[in-house]
Amino acid sequence: MRLLVTGSGGMLGVDVVSAATAAGHDVTALTRAQLDVTDAAAARAALATAAPAAVINCAAWTDVDGAERAEAAATAVNGAGAGTIAAAAAAAGAFVVHVSTDYVFAGEAGEPYLEDAPVAPRSAYGRSKLAGERAVAAAAADCHAIVRTAWLFGPHGGNFVDTMRRLGDERDELTVVDDQLGCPTYTGHLAPALVEIAERRRGGVLHVAGGGSCTWWQLARATFERTGQLVTVHRGRTADLGRPAPRPAFSVLGSTRADAPVLPPWQQGLDAHLAAKEIPA
């Protein structure tokens, strides 16, 4: 299958290209420098030239705090840009897989958010991603999938796990928030799931995240246990960080769809990530 990947130079995009190539697909990989997703004419030209059967859109504004200061710019990429790619895919007869986020929810639930749960983003980033979901659905009608995921980490970009490893080399005590609960998701597990969704043209909204859940404090502890770094990790509160963007307190995703890919537990993702980074797990 001919497959086009936007945002192919990002943490998730690199793994999607690798997964698609390993699956035997003919992949066109476009980085941010090669395709500005906000440029409709460029998107149409790229899709017409590549003539893919499916597109996986990994292009995104991922700076959550930066989006609070520049919501219009974030929405241009995450909202209008997503719609631009979906429209270009529809014009080329391609199925589009769009990656979204747990931030479209308020983060106040007491049980996992399912695909049909009411959306109510509390941050500029969440609003920009919800705008993208709606733009994709409007532009691509019945030939799209919106895949919500959460707490991504992987070897090809900055992420929480690697930040903890670096800080663990610099300090013997850290304070990490313990009042946010979510599903850490390894990009090496998510990427082949996205390719599978494209292959089987599984449409609509799907929740695909690492199995199980934990807090950032628990993820930090698990990281240090595996790397052997001797760090005392204190429980912290989100409110004490003073970040510009509000964070969802509860970001656990669930699914009612039998055809949604099921990812391994987040602990296996952590092990795989550390192995990819040549750190014994």
CATH number at residue 44: 3.40.50.720
Range of the domain at 28: 2-159+184-210+253-260
User: What tens digit of pLDDT does each residue of 5-17 get?
Assistant: 999 999 999 999 9
Dist CA 263 CA 261 (whole Å)? 6
**pLDDT at residue number 224:** 98
Across 24-35, average pLDDT = 97
Across 163-173, average pLDDT = 96
**pLDDT at residue number 279:** 57
Residue 229 inside a domain? The answer is: no
Helix (H, G, I), strand (E, B) or coil at 38: coil
Burial class for 254, CB neighbours closer than 10 Å (0-12, 13-18, 19+): middle
Residue 100 inside a domain? The answer is: yes
**pLDDT at residue number 55:** 98
DSSP 113: B
Amino acid at 193: A
Residue 239 inside a domain? The answer is: no
Residue 179 inside a domain? The answer is: no
Residue 146 inside a domain? The answer is: yes
Residue 217 inside a domain? The answer is: no
Burial class for 91, CB neighbours closer than 10 Å (0-12, 13-18, 19+): middle
**pLDDT at residue number 152:** 98
pTM above threshold 0.75: yes
Q: Token pair of 107, please?
A: 């983060």
pLDDT band at 277 (very low <50, low <70, confident <90, very high): confident
Residue 123 inside a domain? The answer is: yes
* Residue 281 reports pLDDT greater than 70: no
Across 116-144, average pLDDT = 97
The per-residue pLDDT of the chain, averaged, comes to 96
Residue 134 inside a domain? The answer is: yes
Domain count, the chain: 1
Across 31-46, average pLDDT = 97
Cβ atoms of 153 and 212 closer than 8 Å:
no
Strands 54-57 and 173-177: unpaired
* Residue 280 reports pLDDT greater than 90: no
* Residue 186 reports pLDDT greater than 80: yes
Burial class for 258, CB neighbours closer than 10 Å (0-12, 13-18, 19+): exposed
Amino acid at 104: V
Across 123-135, average pLDDT = 98
pLDDT band at 63 (very low <50, low <70, confident <90, very high): very high
**pLDDT at residue number 88:** 97
Q: Active-site residues: which are they?
A: 125
